[in-house]
Every structure is written in C-alpha cells, then in structure tokens.
Structure 1
Amino acid sequence: MSINQLTAAARLRVDEALAQQLMQASIEPRLAEAMRYGALLGGKRIRPFLTLNIAEICQANPDSALTAACAVECIHAYSLIHDDLPAMDDDDLRRGQPTCHVAFDQATAILAGDALQALAFKLLSADRLNQVPCPQQLQMISVLAQASGGMGMCGGQSLDLMATNKPLTEAQLQQVHRHKTGDLIAASAELGVLCGSAEAQRYRTGFATFAQRLGLAFQIQDDILDVTGSTETLGKPQGSDQQAHKSTYVQLLGLDGARQKLLSLHQQALQSLADIPYNTQRLADFSTALLTRDH
C-alpha cells in the first residue's frame, strides 16, 4: 500500500478539522486566507498521522487526538512558510504550488506563520482536551514548545543556515536534522501517547524513539530524492539543496552510503516498535511506505 493510501483517512480528518479551525483565522481577511493557504496546501500529513495512530493505539479520546494532530500540523505549516522565505531557503514552489510569500507577499507570509504557531498552542490549551488529565495536557504543551523552539526545530534550522557553504561531519549533519526534522516528528508521537491512557505513558519514550529514527531516515530520503527525483515529483525544485550549498547525506556518504544509512535507521525504528507490547503493525507499514516512496 502506498503512503498516500495509508494516510488518506488521517489526511481527510485533519484537513476537515483544520479547515473548520481556520474559518475564522484572523480579523484581517488576507491574513486569514494566507493561513488557510499555508495550512491546507496538501501534503502527506506524516506528523498528524503519527499523532492520530499512536493515540488510537494508546486508547485516547478521538476528539482529543484530532485536536493534538491539528496543533502539530499548524506548527509544521508555519515552519514551511517561514523556511520558504527569501531570507531562509528562498523557494518558489511548495508541493507543486507557489509558496506562501509568492502567492501573497513576504510580510503576509511571515504573519501567517506566526499566527499558525500561536493557533497550535491555543488548540492544545483548549477545553476540548478535557478528556486528557491536566498534567498530561500541560506536558503536551511543553513537548510541542520544546520541539518547536530554539532547542528543537528552530535551533536545527539555525544550525542548517550556519552550515551553508561549510563541510559538516556526519555527527554534525545528524545534529542538524535530528532537531530540524526529527524533533517535531518525535513530538507528534509523544502527543499521541500523552492523549492516551495512564498505562500507555510508560511507552512514551519508545514511541518517541521510533519517530525520531523515522524522522532522520525521512530526511536522508529527502536528500536522496533531491538528487534522483524530479521537480514534478518532488513538488519543489530538484537539486535545490545543492544549489543552496547545503551539506547532505548524499554529499557526505555518497548515494549508496546514504541508502545504507536510511536502511539501517529504518531497521532501528522498527526495533523500537518491536519493544512496545501493542499492535504497532500499522506504524511499521507506514514507515516502510514512507521510506520507499518515489516522491
């Protein structure tokens, strides 16, 4: 089964819920439109898929899990809007469509990203999570904040920018992507557990380890596809990492070496699932489909 088939139901649920949340996104119509554009442009919804499916495994309330999944996707959408800006990665295409600052303007794109970030924490602090015990709800807010900020995704993005035009060791490159990509994916898994039963909390680290390894493997595959894919299949300019003079796993390890690293991380991720005494087959299938996708 393809990644799009596996995530179809989750994508539909999240997109419908996000569209509802963004109906009154801003007091200013153009900003509201830009927020909807950035959040609803498409994508595989990898992070909310993890939140929803791990929450289900952990016997969470479905409404609480959906709210948490939307919060994660708001953070992800904001990060993509800002990453695409001229001062950052300077990309004109995202998922085959004009990036937010191209479709609107730079100031509106910045504000749309800011507003989506704020919306994520509004969602996590909402009464609709009343099925989640207060200590776990507070941990959810803390986990997403930690994964999003200077010690997580933003810190990783800054490391990435500072590394432009500089050779990195494998350890340094792994640090960049563990934070830039992996932390939010790991947080998506943790939020799913935190929505769940008290008994499930003991497996929070195991699910997070699975997701962190999956996130790094996913980044390596993106590096591979940047070389082997096409602009049409990638939904963004092919070879953009090389043009931006960024260090990649392909550049560091070669194409075959990067593929071996991806395979090793995938096996480690699957082992993390094997150590959890729940039925995690859907997550295993998801990881295989994600890491063997053509685009």
Structure 2
Amino acid sequence: MTWLVTGGAGYIGAHVVRALGEAGLEPLVIDDLSSGHREFVPADVEFVHGSILDGELLSRTFEEHDVDGVIHVAGFKYAGVSVQQPLHTYAQNVTGTAVLLAAMADAGIGRIVFSSSAAVYGTPDVDLVTESTPKNPQSPYGESKLIGEWLLADQGRAAGLAHTALRYFNVVGSGTPQIRDTSPHNLFPLVFDALLDGRTPRINGDDYPTPDGTCVRDYIHVADLAVSHVAAARRLAAGDAVEAVYNLGSGDGVSVGEIMRTVAEVTGIAFAPEITARRSGDPARIVASGDLAARDLDWSMRHSLRDMVSSAWDARRAA
C-alpha cells in the first residue's frame, strides 16, 4: 500500500515517511525543497522533486504510481511571516491543497490525512482546547489551514473523499539524529543556535499567571505525531469511521521556563535566560486535549520533556 507524503523531505514529513516504512507501508515523497532537505528522505524511498502547485506533475505522479492515499504535510508553516506574506501563504496552503485535491479526484484517489494546525483556534480563552473550541485564527497561516479543512469537508460531501485533519501546536524533538528541525522561527532551534553561538536565550515575559510566570504551551514529540498520521492513514484505508478533525495535544503542557531549565541540564551549558517584555497577544496558557486522538489514532505522549530536548539536541549536534 503506497501513500504519497507531500512535504516528505521536511522535518515533520520526513518523520511521517519513516513511520510509514516502519509500519510496513510504502511511502512516496513529493517536495519542492523550499524548506525540506533531500537527505532527510531515506535512499530507498522514491522522491519526486516539485511543488503541489504543479497539477501536471501531480497527475503524472499518480499515473506512474499506484497510490492508495495522501498524507498532506506540505505547506508554508510560518505564522508570523504569513502576516507579511499573506498571498504567498494562501497560494501554498490553499491553492496548493485545491490543486492536490483536484489531481487526486482525477486519479480516483479518495483518501487524505491533512496536517492542519492548532493555529486555527487563535488564542482561545479556555484552559483546555478541544475540537469544538471556537475557531478564530489570527494569522493568514491559521486561516489557510482552516480553509484547507473546509476544502476537505466540501470534497468529502461532493465526491466522497475520505478525510481527516490533525491539529497540533508545537512539534519538537527528533526520532532519529538524521532529521532535525531547521526552522528559523521555532523555539528549540533558536535556543540551541543561541547557546552554540555563545548568546543567551530569551524568554518573552515571566509575569504570567502560571506556576513559574512563563507561558505554558503544548509541546509534542515529532515521532509521536508521526505515529498518529500513520494510524489515521490505516483507518482511512480500512474504511473505519474517523472524526473530521483531531487535536494531538498533551493535555497539560509545559512552561517555557521548564524548557529552558531542561535545555541547560541536557546540554550541560549553564545559563540564565534573558527576560524580555511580553509579546503582544501571547496568552498565558494554550494546551489541547488529545482524548479523541487517543481513542482512535494511537495517540499518546510517549516521550518526556527531557526526551524531547535530548533527542533534538542530539540531532542538532549531528548536523
């Protein structure tokens, strides 16, 4: 059984590719390498270099391979940057998804797992986000992911597309030292780069109503995330009932201060983070429930915070 992984050379997509292989499924990768890395894709996995905006390339790929379904991870994932580049964000995430769905329909491929985002919720004023929490995206990125979910739902009603979307917040760690997070905007790479450059990592505010005064967020290990993508693909392939969306959440979260202390312990680099002013709009706590995904998609937090930090650090040093 072959599953096309869009964005399969990226940090998350490459972990999904490996999880598919470990589950006995055959991954096929398409990636334009705008943020992915060819070396993240195992040598024995077929790789198609190109964009999901290229409908002709997608059609040829589906013609040349017996694809059973798609795990759609490709996208422009920088929420902050999307505010300055809304048209680029919509082209990659909305138009790209529409082109992909059209090519799938033409090829008779009727299953898709969509890598969505908890950015669709914006900054909800609740202690625990569930799938029914009102959606209020506050960036073009979050809006584009919500529109992607709508496209899947509409195509499901129109053409019987079997689909589900997975929403999550902050993905960290590494399942293998050969794959690392290379985003210039994510917390772990920013902290590691600062330490390796001899700079002091920063915390934006330490006066929030949380146990240590720093923001509490949902951090999940990328390998756990990949397992649930594969579980979702298996359910769709088996014709099992799935929810339209699932949160992959920790249920409790960790604070930025806890992360900094764990980084110091794991790296052996003693530091006291620099405390800067709060960022406008940052809520004290955003944490999601993963109960539905635990029920249906083999979701669980298999890795501790120390596991997350140490695996990410090992991958960073192996670079």
Q: Which TM-score band (shorter chain)?
A: 0.3 to 0.5
- Which has more strand, going by share of residues? 2
- TM-score normalised by L of structure 2: 0.34
- TM-score normalised by L of structure 1: 0.36
Decide which structure has the larger Cα Rg and report it: 2
- Which has more helix, going by share of residues? 1
